[in-house]
Each structure stands twice: as structure tokens, then as C-alpha cells.
Amino acid sequence: MQKMTLTQPLLDDIKITVTGLRFHGKVADYIPELSFMSPDLFAISCVSLDNSAVETGDVNQYFTMQSISKIISLSIAIEKLGMKEVFKYVDMEPTADSFNSLMRLEMSSPIPANPFMNAGAIVICALLQSSFGAKAFDEIISFTELITGEKIEFSNKVYESERSTSDRNKALAHFMKSIGSLPGDIDGFLELYFRQCSMMCTVRSLAKIGALLASGGISPLSGKRILKKNTAYAILGLMTTCGLYNGSGEFAVRVGIPGKSGVSGGILAVSPGNMGIGVFSPPLDSKGNSVAGLYALELLSEKLNLRNMGKS
């Protein structure tokens, strides 16, 4: 099909089209504080490699990154420890299991399937805690600020809500410790995990992170290299195969570009060599992915021919 150009009217049209879908799905309530987010919210932002932005909707609405923050902690771990060392402790394989599943650890492998599963993200937090000690969360905040050029806050309300309803994540951590996959201070690892998930962002924040990855690790803000090229490629590969948990295959078919979701309703997507995309709408499908966000990205990918960028 003929590729369109990214414009304000194009994003506005997508917003109008997906409006009705916001009421299909359910706002996450297993973390009680998330349930207070209005299901009517919707925003999308596209940031190009020259740092220019086109966006529409509730673009100034802050929400917590949740699992999208796993991109940040994994990037730091790979940059600090190296690819080989990180992937001794966590695999890089997709799975049909839900994001907080314990089953594969018990039945198949003693290490988590990938670093975007909750179990894998807890392992990454353990590696960061071992490397940076009490300053591990400061490293995550500082790196996020470096990428986005924004002051990053975190929601204490969401953090406390998540920590008080964290039985499944505690079970994952204790099980991994029992089989020798997670030595050390479990409470400290979980504390870091809950804090990173509670970092606040907007859709533009997500799009800026996506633009960094789209450029192969060079900052659209400063023009300086922030990530090694191989780190950026590894993150994009994992986003493609594992970024939307057991909905990753559907996302690959419908949208066809790397993505990473969070249960607050955010999705970060990347059009390599082109732009980063952030989308937000709280109602989720049964797999924990934003219903309207998925459809908005499907429409954007179709209209801009993102899966075949650069080809006629």
C-alpha cells in the first residue's frame, strides 16, 4: 500500500477511530492504585530521530511505567555487565505463559524464560543490586533521565500499593532462591523491582526511549551514543519476541514492529531507523495489554507502512 506521512491530522484520526475501543477491556486492579485511572484516557506520541514530536490526546497525563521500565534496567545490566554475563542468569526465549507465571520455572528451566517476564526482571534487579548496592535505583532513575531529558519521579502510592499486593512476585523470588537461581537479599531485589515499576512517565517519555532504540543507541536529544549498538539490537529483539508477554505473537502479526507493554496501559513501540512511539490507554485485554493502544499501533503501522519502512 502507499505509505502515508506522519502528521497531526493522521494521529487525530487514529484517536477518533479508537475512542470506542477504550471501553473494551478492564483497567488493572490487582495493583489497587492502578484501578483509579480513568478508562477514558488516551494518548499517542511519536518522536523522530531528530527529536521532533507529533502527538495527540491526553499527552500530559502521567502514569507509571510498570513493565516498560524493564527496558531500562535490562539496558543498564547489559551495559554494565555485558551480554554474556546477563544471559547466564536469564534466558532470551518467548513463552506462552502469563507475565507473572511460575510454571515454567518449576517444569522446564531453573532460569526465567526472558527478562521481560516478572521472574526475569527480578533477576535483572538482583544483578543491578549486586553491582550498584543501595544506589541501584538511583542508577535507573539517572539513566531514564539521560534518555528522556526529563526529571523522573516515582509514585509512592503505586509503589506502596504494589508492594502490599505482591504475593505472586514474592513467591517467584522465593521459588527461584529455593532452586539456586536467585541468591542474596530477596527483599532488596523486590524493593528495587517495585520502585522501577512505579516510575512516572508520559507517552512522550516512552516515545523518547523508543527513539533512542530506533537510532541504534544514539540519543536524539544530544546526538551522543548512550547505548552500544549491540545492546540496542538485543533490546529490540527481545521486544519483538517477548515484549507483550503471551500476546507478543499477536502484536507481531497485527503491528509488526518491536513493542513493550505495561499494565498501567502504556505501550512503547519502535520503528527502527525511524521513530519511537508511546501510547497510553488503561483498559487491558486478558493478557495485560492496552486494547486501544494495540489498535492504535496497528492503524499507525498500517497507514505509515512501518513494518516495511524504507521499502516500496
Q: Which residues are catalytic?
A: 67, 70, 193, 245, 263
Helix (H) or strand (E) holding 145: helix 136-148
Separation CA 212–CA 49 (nearest Å):
8
Which three cell numbers, joined as nine digits, stand for 273?
531507523
Show Cβ contacts of residue 36 under 8 Å, excluding neighbours closer than 6 positions: none
* Residue 156: how many other CB atoms lie within 10 Å: 11
Separation CA 192–CA 185 (nearest Å):
11
What Rg value do the Cα atoms of the chain yield, rounded? 18
